[in-house]
Amino acid sequence: MISDNIVYFLPRNADMEQIASLAGPGGKVEVEQNFLNNKLKTITAYFGSLIKSDS
């Protein structure tokens, strides 16, 4: 493995279940939807320590 800290910039029609499966068992992913002019344009998925913590 190269790194646990990865960001994917994906098209709006990316499959959320497939994105979640990339985190692996017990893993976490943070998904951000990117809008322009009130239209969903892209999705950004964060893995590893790039996930924003709640605190």
**What count of Cα atoms within 13 Å lies in the side-chain half-sphere of residue 3?**
8
- pLDDT digits 0-9 by tens, 19-51: 999 998 988 999 999 999 999 999 999 999 999
Dump the DSSP string for 26-42.
T--EEEEEEEETTEEEE
pLDDT of residue 53: 78
pLDDT at 55 over 80: no
d(CA 15, CA 48): 20
Q: Which residue has the tokens 């493995």?
A: 1
| Phi, psi for 30 (deg, rounded to 5) | -110, 125
pTM for the model = 0.86
CA of 52: how far to CAs of 8, 28, 33, in Å?
Answer: 15, 11, 15
